[in-house]
Every structure is written in C-alpha cells, then in structure tokens.
Amino acid sequence: MRYQKVKYLFIILSLTSYLFANHGRIPTYAKNGMVVSASDIASKIGCNVLKNGGNAIDAAVATAFALAVTWPQAGNIGGGGFIVYHSGDGDVTTFDFREKAPLAASQKMYLDANGKIINNSNHDSLIAVGVPGTVAGLYLAHQNLGSIPWAVLVQPAIDLAAGGIPVSWKLHNDVSIYFKDDLLKHPSTRKVVLKSDSTFYAPGEIWQQKDLAETLTRIRDNGRDGFYKGETARLLADFMQKNGGIITEEDLSKYDAIEREPVKGSYRGYDIYSMPPPSSGGITLINMLNILEGYNLKDIGHNSAFYLHLLTEAMRRSFADRAQFLGDPDFNPDMPVDKLLNKNHAEELRRSIDWFKASASDSSAFNSFYESNGNETTHLSVVDKDGNAVSLTYTIEAWWGTKIVADGLGFFLNNEMGDFNAIPGITNRHGRIGTAANLIEPEKRMLSSMTPTIVARDNKPVLLIGSPGGRTIINTVLQVILNVIDHGMNIGQAIEAGRIHHQWLPDVTSIEEWQISPDTQKLYENMGHKIHINTGVQGRAMGIFIDHESGIISGTADSRSPDGAAAGY
C-alpha cells in the first residue's frame, strides 16, 4: 500500500503528539465490582450498593439519583437518557428514556414569520423543555432487572439533599463565576443556588436542597408515579402555565420509557453494543469502526497526522449519514439502520477516502458525494461481582439545562427541545441540520448523540464507556475504544489521551489544546483539514475495563471531570 512508504515519516514527525498527550494515569483497581461517575460521592454510594448485595442496575439507579444532588449541572431527574445493559452471561438490552416533545409542540414553534429562530427560544426558554424521562427510565430498568427495593436505592440521594453536601470547587466556580448571570436571572433558581443571605456557597460549605429532598421522597414512596403524577406533576405543570411553558400534567402522565434491542457491531473480534435510535450514537459509532477496521491503525501510529486524517474522514462520512437518516424510530419506521450498520456500506465509504487529502463536506449532497456539538451530559459505568454491566448516559442538554428550577421541586429543567431540527429543510455549511427525520412532532423523542457502549468478547463485557459532550460524545467514545483495542492502552491511558472531533458540518476539526503537537497539526493541515483549537475539553469519559483472565476490574474517571471518581471493592 502507498501508506507503507510514508507511514514512518508521519510517525517520526508526529511523535511529539504522543508525548504531548496526558498518558499514564493509573486506574483504580478492584476484584468484585466498580462504579465510575462524575461525582466521588455518587460513585461511593453506588459502590456501597454493590457491597451490600445489589447488582449493576441497582448501583446505577442509586448513583444516578445521587448525581441529581451532587452534580446538578448535568446529573438529573429533569432530563433523560439511555442505559445499555450486558449481563454476565451474555444477555444484552437497552432502556430508552429520552425526553419527548410536549403535546402542544409544533414543527415551527420557534420561528418568526421569516423562518428565523426567535431569541434562541429552542434553547433558552421554558418552551425548550422536553418532557423528562429519567425517573421513568430508571424505574423501568429497576422493575425489569433490579434486585434491591426501589426505596433503598433512592434513600441515599434523599439523605444527601436533606442533610447537605460539601460544595466542591467545581460546583462553586460554576455557580459563582461561569454561570452566575444565567442562574441568577431566574427567581426560582436563585432560591436554590444561593444561601439565605443571598450569597454563594463557598467551597466546603454545606448545601442543603430541601425541595429536591421532598421531590425525591415522593419518588421513593411512589416510584414512577411519584414524579409523573400527584404533587410533583402538579407543581411542574403549574409552573409551566404561569411562566410560558407548555408541559402539562397530561404530558407527564403519558410519558413512557421503552426497552429496546441494542445495535450491535463488531471490531477486530470484539462485539460492540450500543444505543439504537433515537440515539444516533450507536449507529454512527459502529459505522466509523467499520470504516476504520480496514486500516492498520496500530502501525500508522496513535494521533499521528495520518491517523488523525483517517479518523476525520470516517467521522465526516458517518456524521453525514447521521444527519440525513436518523431520528425517533417510532416516527421514522423506514430508517435504513441495517444498511448503516453493514460493513459493505462502510467499505463503499472507505473507498472514497483519499489517503493523503481531506474530503469536502457538502451540505447539499450528504453522503452521495462520498459513495463509489456546548452541550453537557453525564455518564456512569458499573460492573458487579457477577459480571453484569451497565453503561448509562443521561442529560439535561446544556450545562444546567435551561438554568431554571421549577418552584418547590428543586431540580433543573432540561432544554432538550433544542436537539430537534428547528428550521425544516435548512441544512447548511454552518452545521444547521433540517432533515425530516428529526423535525418536531408532539410526543416525538429528539435525536441524541449519547453513546453508552459496552464492548464484549466471548459473551462477556470487557469495556464500558461513555461520555458527555453533545455531538462530540460519539467521537470521544470512538477514540477510547480505538485506544484500548488498537493501541493496547489501559483504561486510564485510553481516557486521558488527546481527542479530536469532526461532525461533517461545519467542515472543521476541533483539537484539544496542548494534546496534538504543532508539527502534527501542520502535517494534518497540509492534507487540507481546517483546525479549531479547543481551549476547553472534549468530553469527560467514565470507563471500566474487565480483564477476565486475571479477574481484575480497572476503572478511570476522566481527569477532565474534576469531581469524578472510580469506586471499587
């Protein structure tokens, strides 16, 4: 192959990219079980459930509710998400608790007479709130697979909310510096995030959340109905009616979570299980892996310019497929899922990749041209003593969602309606997508990029991975999987390594600052790629690796998540 003649040049000139990456983080090790999440407190609560005989679903439920208290920026009961579950003996299923559009939603609800979005209303208003799904999803998963009583799993979160948590530096900075103006413009939110003297909590001070404790108590005592009916539903619907929202008690009572078959792929002898639509993550991830399976990525060299080029071209093509075809399967029964997962489709896309030259992203042609993402979320991974595994990602969309807390309820409301295609028919080079599959309809679930994934071998889970980050989620998960399988990294190294992101449109590659050397960036640009330096971070991956030969479980909470931790025993 032609690349053999030049691969060593790319490797030598790009070697400093490997040195720039933050490799070598030591994972946490355990023998019996592990929980990894964005909150040290929540991970320990989940681990205690495992120690006391709970299974992976039990621990995931307890951790998720605890995150609603300790990680309010993204942990939630006011949003929605997905679970991928793999039993220790090979059974795999998923739970879809993505938010839905309210009954009063309509296709052009955010547009003025000229077809323009009004004041960012699809992200920054009460009409941006989708009907929350988290409580229904956790309850359905527990009813089907849990082993410890529901009330026992919710109680630790109640204790945290009522008794208070110590405010971390991250939480303090988010409230008092980075999101101060957004949070303080809502009177109902000010009641929650400020002390009685109207000042911010300092790091180490105890933050009590009495309204949230009462909401969680109703969920503890009444299960799903403690959220979707009764006092909580009434308070939320009343707040919506008084403040311009459109969610009603009927919307809440009609909400349902769904158990779905996972999407499945394979990569170099490993099985890949991930979330089906309305998540785009699983299909897009498997499509990219199918394309990249045709290259010897190990020899090409991790994060060399040539390696980044091939990753980018796979991302470009798979994200074009995502934009054209994917949406809620209950409203789009004819999505070509089988084709998009097929290795023959990936081979056609691979043949269109020039070894040394970037393609162009064409908003008018989608993948007919090739054929021969500040969004915040949180992820947790769990494995128990019997090898049962849970990969769970849930979200309120933006950091703090709408920044609005409904009076008397204590939790932040999502702004997930912004994940619908707001302007029908408009797809352009700036990244606006207007394809039909993801247009707004009442009770429709908006397309998601969340990609909770479990990699298995011989019917046993090996790698559990997921991340926040909007559309970057899919590419973060992709690169961690490649780091483990192709490059032999441990879970800590795989998660800490530098990342890139390309999503077809806009036609630019985001690269984490300091993670790819200037020499590598120059070679990459010379191939025709445009670069944007991401001065923040790409994702906050939470992963677990299971070595079945030694019986050792290793886990890592991404250092990009300051409060995150792995807890095992």
Instruction: State pLDDT tens for residues 86-139.
Output: 999 999 999 999 999 999 999 999 999 999 999 999 999 999 999 999 999 999
pLDDT grade for 541, boundaries at 50, 70 and 90: very high
Beta strand 389-398 with 565-568 is unpaired
What are the backbone angles phi and psi of residue 214, rounded to the nearest 5°? Answer: -70, -40
What CA–CA distances, in Å, run from 292 to 287, 296, 298, 557? 9, 8, 11, 26
Residue 204: pLDDT over 50: yes
Pairing assessment for the beta strands 509-512 and 531-534 based on DSSP bridges: parallel
What pLDDT is attached to residue 127?
A: 98
Parallel, antiparallel, or unpaired for β 206-207 and 258-260? Answer: unpaired
Question: Where residue 538 falls among pLDDT bands split at 50, 70, 90?
Answer: very high
Least Cα distance to 536 among 399, 395, 419, 403 occurs for: 399
Does 21 have pLDDT greater than 60? no
Residue pair 433/141 in contact (Cβ under 8 Å)? The answer is no
In DSSP terms, which residues pair with 548 in a beta bridge?
Answer: none
The pLDDT assigned to 411 comes to 98
Provide φ and ψ at 345, rounded to 5°: -60, -45
7 has a pLDDT exceeding 50? no
Where does the pLDDT of residue 365 fall: very low under 50, low under 70, confident under 90, or very high at 90 and above?
A: low
Q: How far apart are the first and last CA of the chain?
A: 48
- Evaluate if residue 256 carries a pLDDT over 50: yes
Which residues are paired to 483 by β-bridges?
none
- Rg for the chain, CA atoms, rounded: 22
Does 363 score more than 90 pLDDT?
no
**pLDDT value at position 97?**
98
The percent of residues in the chain predicted with pLDDT above 90, rounded, is: 86
What is the residue-wise DSSP string for 412-452? BPP-GGGGSB-STT---TTS----GGGB--TTPBPPB----
Dihedral of the CA atoms 251, 107, 246, 252 (nearest 10)?
10
pTM, full prediction: 0.93
pLDDT over 60 at 197, yes or no = yes
Mean pLDDT of the chain: 92
Secondary structure in 3-state letters for 50-103: HHCCCCHHHHHHHHHHHHHHHCCCCCCCCCEEEEEEECCCCCEEEEEECCECCC
User: For residue 554, which of 25, 26, 27, 23 has the smallest C-alpha distance?
Assistant: 27
pLDDT for 149-191, tens place per residue? 999 999 999 999 999 999 999 999 999 887 888 899 999 999 9
| Of the candidates 104, 118, 81, 96, the residue with the CA atom closest to the CA atom of residue 440 | 104
Greatest C-alpha distance within the chain = 70
Q: Which of 70, 377, 435, 453 is catalytic?
A: 377
Identify which has the larger pLDDT, 167 or 21. Answer: 167
Q: Residue with structure tokens 């019986």? A: 551
Within 8 A by CB and 6+ apart from 333, the residues are none
Q: For the segment 391-447, what is each residue's pLDDT rounded down to a tens digit?
A: 999 999 998 999 999 999 999 999 999 999 899 976 545 455 667 899 999 999 999
Determine the 3-state secondary structure of 151 from DSSP. Answer: helix
Three-class HEC string of 263-329: EEEEECCEEEEECCCCECHHHHHHHHHHHHCCCCHHHHCCCCHHHHHHHHHHHHHHHHHHHHHCCCC
Q: Is the pLDDT of residue 263 over 80?
A: yes
Write down the pLDDT at residue 367: 59
| Tokens, residue 240 | 């919506």
Question: For residues 336, 337, 338 and 343, what is the CA-based torsion angle, rounded to 10 degrees?
Answer: 100
Is the sign of the CA dihedral 540, 85, 483, 499 positive or negative? negative
> Token digits for 537?
């971070």
* pLDDT of res. 362: 77
Pair 440, 463: CB distance under 8 Å: no
Query: Dihedral of CA 226/232/233/234: which sign?
Result: positive
Active site residue 377: yes
* Nearest to 452, CA basis, from 547, 377, 538, 387: 377
Token pair belonging to 549: 């030969």
Q: What are the tens digits of pLDDT across the range 370-388? A: 444 444 799 999 999 999 9
Mean pLDDT of 337-349: 97
| Nearest residue to 424 via CA among 413, 448, 440, 410 | 440
Q: Which two tokens stand for residue 206?
A: 């105890």
Enumerate residues 6+ apart whose C-beta is below 8 A from 476.
467, 469, 499, 501, 538, 539, 541
Environment class of 313 (CB within 10 Å of its CB; exposed 0-12, middle 13-18, buried 19+): buried
The pLDDT score that the predictor gives to residue 177 is 85
Q: What integer pLDDT is reported at residue 11 of this predicted model?
A: 37
Structural domains of the chain ordered from first start = 8-29+261-376+448-561 (3.60.20.40), 36-259+379-438 (no CATH)
Residue 377 in tokens: 């979320």
- Residue 455's nearest CA partner among 470, 466, 467 is 466
The tokens of 62 are what?
Answer: 């307890």
As a whole number of angstroms, the distance between CA 41 and CA 28 comes to 16
pLDDT tens-place string over residues 446-472: 999 999 999 999 999 999 999 999 999
- Say how far apart CA 87 and CA 163 lie, in whole Å: 35
